[in-house]
Amino acid sequence: MKIFTLLLMLFSCYFVFAQDPSKKISLELQDATLKEAILKIEGQSGFKLFFADEWVDRGHVTLSLQDVTLEEALQKVLANTPLNFYQLENGQVVITRNNIIYDRLPEGFFPKVDSLSTKTETTVVDSYNPIFYGPNKRSQTNIETVYIGKQDQAGGKRIYTLSGTVKNLETGEPIANLAILVRGTEIGTVTDQSGFYSLKIPAGTHILETRSFGNEDVQKRLLLYNNGSLNLNLREDYELLGEVMLESNPDKNVNNATAGEENINIEEVKNIPLILGERDVMKVAATLPGISTAGEGAAGYNVRGGKTDQNLILLDGAVIYNPAHFFGIFSAINPFTSGDMTIYKGHIPAQFGGRLSSVFDITSKDANTKEFAGEVSVGPVTANVALEIPVIENKSGIIIGGRSTYSDWILKSLEEESLKNSEASFSDVLVKYNHKFNDKISVKTTGYFSNDRFSITSDSLYNYQNLLFSLQADHKLNEKNTGSLLLSNSSYNFDIEYDSQFNNNFISGYRINETEAQLNMRYLHSKAHKFDYGISGKLYNVQPGEIDPLGAESIIQPFEIPQEKGLESAVYISDQFEVNDRLLLNAGIRYSLYAALGEKAQKIYEEGQPKSEATLVDTLYYGKNEVMETYSGPEVRFSARYFILPDLSAKASYNSTYQYIHTLSNNTTVSPTDTYKLSDRYIEPQRANQYSLGLYKNFDSNEYELSLEGYYKTSENILDYKVGAQLFLNENIETEVLQGKGRSYGLEFLLKKTEGRLNGWLGYSYSRSYLQLDGEHREEIVNNGEYFPANYDKPHDVSVVANYKVTQRFSFSANFVYQTGRPVTYPTGKYNQNGMEYVLYSDRNRFRIPDYYRLDLSFNVEGNHKIKKFAHSFWNISVYNVLGRNNPYSVFFVTDQGEIKAYKSSIFSIPVPTITYNFKF
Amino acid sequence: MIYIKNYKIIFLIATFLAVYGCVEPYEFETETFEDALVVEAILTDEIKFQEIQISRTYRLEDDFPTAESFADVVVTDDQGNEFFFYEMTPGKYISNVEFGIQPQRKYQLLIQTRDGGSYSSDPTQMVPGNDIEDLYAERVVLQGEDGIALLVDSKNSETASKYALYEYEETYKIVSPIVVRSTIEFEGNNWRVVPNTKQETICYNTVPSKEIILSNTSALSSNNLDSFLVRFIRKDDPVLGQRYSILVKQYSLTGEAYSYYSTLKKISSSESLLSQNQPGFVNGNMYSINDDDEKVIGYFTLSEVSTKRIYFNYYDFFDFDEPRPKFPEDCIPFRPGELIETPIGMIQSGTVRFMNFAGAPVEGEIGEGPIRVVATECVDCTVYGTNEMPDFWKE
**pLDDT higher than 70, residue B3:** no
Between A161-170, A318-327, B194-203, B369-378, the lowest mean confidence (pLDDT) is in: A161-170
The residue ranking higher by pLDDT, A606 or B20, is A606
The residue ranking higher by pLDDT, A188 or A321, is A321
Q: Given A329, A668, A906, which is nearest B22 (Cβ)?
A: A906
Residue of A559, A831, A839 for testing the chain B interface, max B β-carbons within 10 Å: A831
Residue A137: its pLDDT value, please?
38
Residue A513: its pLDDT value, please?
96
Which residues 6+ apart lie within 8 Å of A161 measured at CB? Answer: A198, A199, A200, A201, A227, A479
Q: Is B61 on the interface with A (CB under 8 A)?
A: no
Q: Is the bond leading into A599 cis (omega within 30 degrees of zero)?
A: yes
Q: For the segment A861-901, what is each residue's pLDDT rounded down to a tens digit?
A: 887 756 555 678 888 888 888 888 888 877 777 777 767 77
**pLDDT higher than 50, residue A346:** yes
Beta partners for residue A466, in sequence order: A450, A492
Residue A268: its pLDDT value, please?
65
Yes or no: say if A795 and A768 are a contact pair by the CB < 8 Å rule.
Answer: yes
Give chain A positions within 8 Å (CB) of B276: 667-669, 890, 892
Q: Is B127 on the interface with A (CB under 8 A)?
A: no
Give chain B positions within 8 Å (CB) of A557: 219-222
Residue of B281, B283, B299 for testing the chain A interface, max A β-carbons within 10 Å: B281
Residue A709: its pLDDT value, please?
94
The average pLDDT across B317-343 equals 86
Residue A39: its pLDDT value, please?
81
| Record: contact A723-B276, CB cut-off 8 A | no
Q: Is B169 on the interface with A (CB under 8 A)?
A: no
Q: For the segment A76-86, what is each residue's pLDDT rounded down to a tens digit?
A: 777 767 677 77
Residue A5: its pLDDT value, please?
37
Residue of A nearest to B284 (CA): A779
**pLDDT higher than 60, residue B231:** yes
Question: Model confidence at A680, in pLDDT bands (50, 70, 90)?
Answer: very high
Rounded to 5°, angle at Cα A287 from A282 and A288: 100
| Record: contact B15-A380, CB cut-off 8 A | yes
**pLDDT higher than 90, residue A350:** yes
| Record: contact B143-A500, CB cut-off 8 A | yes
Q: Is B266 on the interface with A (CB under 8 A)?
A: yes
* B131 closest CA partner among B310, B305, B311, B309: B305
Q: Given B27, B262, B275, which is nearest A724 (Cβ)?
A: B262
Question: Model confidence at A191, in pLDDT bands (50, 70, 90)?
Answer: confident
The residue ranking higher by pLDDT, A910 or A715, is A715
| Record: contact B140-A910, CB cut-off 8 A | no
* Highest mean pLDDT out of A7-16, A240-249, A790-799: A790-799
| Record: contact A556-B229, CB cut-off 8 A | no
Residue A149: its pLDDT value, please?
64
**pLDDT higher than 70, residue B270:** no
| Record: contact A668-B259, CB cut-off 8 A | no
Report how far residue B251's alpha carbon sits from residue B128's, in angstroms, rounded to the nearest whole number.
9
Helix (H, G, I), strand (E, B) or coil at A728: coil
The identity of residue A124, as a single letter, is V
Yes or no: say if A640 and A654 are a contact pair by the CB < 8 Å rule.
Answer: no
Domain range summary for chain B, segments of one domain joined by +: 37-128+260-304, 134-175+205-255+312-316, 182-195+328-383
Q: Given B15, B26, B60, which is nearest A407 (Cβ)?
A: B15
Between A42-46, A375-379, B81-85, B382-386, the lowest mean confidence (pLDDT) is in: A42-46
Give chain B positions within 8 Å (CB) of A458: 143-144
Give chain B positions within 8 Å (CB) of A830: 57-60
Q: For the segment A726-759, what is each residue's pLDDT rounded down to a tens digit?
A: 788 888 888 888 899 999 999 999 998 887 888 8
The alpha-carbon gap from B294 to the nearest alpha carbon of chain A, in Å, equals 10
Q: Per-residue DSSP letters for B327-381?
A: SSS----B---SSTHHHHHHHHHTSEEEEEE--S--TTSB---SEEEEEHHHH-G
Query: Where, residue-wise, is CATH 3.55.50.30 in chain A?
Result: 2-97
Q: Given B38, B167, B279, which is nearest A831 (Cβ)?
A: B38
Residue A475: its pLDDT value, please?
94
Residue A34: its pLDDT value, please?
80
Residue A585: its pLDDT value, please?
93
User: What are the helix (H) ranges across chain B?
Assistant: 10-20, 255-267, 341-349, 376-379
Report how far residue A756's alpha carbon sits from residue A242's, in angstroms, rounded to the nearest whole number.
12
Question: Can you name the CATH fold of B134-175+205-255+312-316?
Answer: Immunoglobulin-like (2.60.40)
Yes or no: say if A747 and A703 are a contact pair by the CB < 8 Å rule.
Answer: no
Residue B1: its pLDDT value, please?
28
CATH 3.30.750.24 fits A261-920, yes or no: no
Residue A167: its pLDDT value, please?
82
Between A54-63, A337-346, B15-24, B219-228, the lowest mean confidence (pLDDT) is in: B15-24
Residue B221: its pLDDT value, please?
64
ipTM: 0.80
Between A253-262, A265-274, A642-651, B318-327, the lowest mean confidence (pLDDT) is in: A265-274
Q: Given B16, B33, B224, which is nearest A828 (Cβ)?
A: B33
| Record: contact A669-B219, CB cut-off 8 A | no
Q: Given B12, B208, B277, which is nearest A835 (Cβ)?
A: B208
Question: Can you name the CATH fold of A2-97?
Answer: Phage tail protein beta-alpha-beta fold (3.55.50)
Residue of B274, B287, B305 for testing the chain A interface, max A β-carbons within 10 Å: B274
Question: Model confidence at A711, in pLDDT bands (50, 70, 90)?
Answer: very high
| Record: contact B279-A893, CB cut-off 8 A | yes
The alpha-carbon gap from B119 to the nearest alpha carbon of chain A, in Å, equals 15
Q: For the segment A250-269, what is each residue's pLDDT rounded down to a tens digit?
A: 567 777 777 778 877 776 66
Say if residue A607 is exposed, middle or buried (CB neighbours under 10 Å; 0-12, 13-18, 19+). exposed
* Highest mean pLDDT out of A555-569, B7-21, B274-288: A555-569
Q: Given A381, A721, A838, which is nearest B15 (Cβ)?
A: A381
Residue A141: its pLDDT value, please?
46
Question: Model confidence at A214, in pLDDT bands (50, 70, 90)?
Answer: low
Q: Given B10, B65, B229, which is nearest A831 (Cβ)?
A: B65
- Residue A193: DSSP 8-state: T
Give chain A positions within 8 Å (CB) of B33: 828-829
CATH 2.60.40.1120 fits A115-240, yes or no: yes
Report how far residue A688's alpha carbon sits from residue A771's, in angstroms, rounded to the nearest whole number.
13
| Record: contact A847-B208, CB cut-off 8 A | no
The alpha-carbon gap from B205 to the nearest alpha carbon of chain A, in Å, equals 17
**pLDDT higher than 90, residue B150:** yes
Question: Model confidence at A236, in pLDDT bands (50, 70, 90)?
Answer: low
* A908 closest CA partner among A298, A148, A353: A298
The alpha-carbon gap from B243 to the nearest alpha carbon of chain A, in Å, equals 23
| Record: contact B4-A729, CB cut-off 8 A | no
Yes or no: say if B317 and B234 are a contact pair by the CB < 8 Å rule.
Answer: no
Report how far residue A778's alpha carbon sits from residue A167's, in angstroms, rounded to the nearest whole number.
65
Neighbours of A46 (CB within 10 A): 10
The alpha-carbon gap from A889 to the nearest alpha carbon of chain B, in Å, equals 8
**Residue A540 φ/ψ, nearest 5 degrees:** -100, 140
**pLDDT higher than 50, residue A123:** no
**pLDDT higher than 60, residue A415:** no
Surface of B (236-255) touching A: CB under 8 A: 255
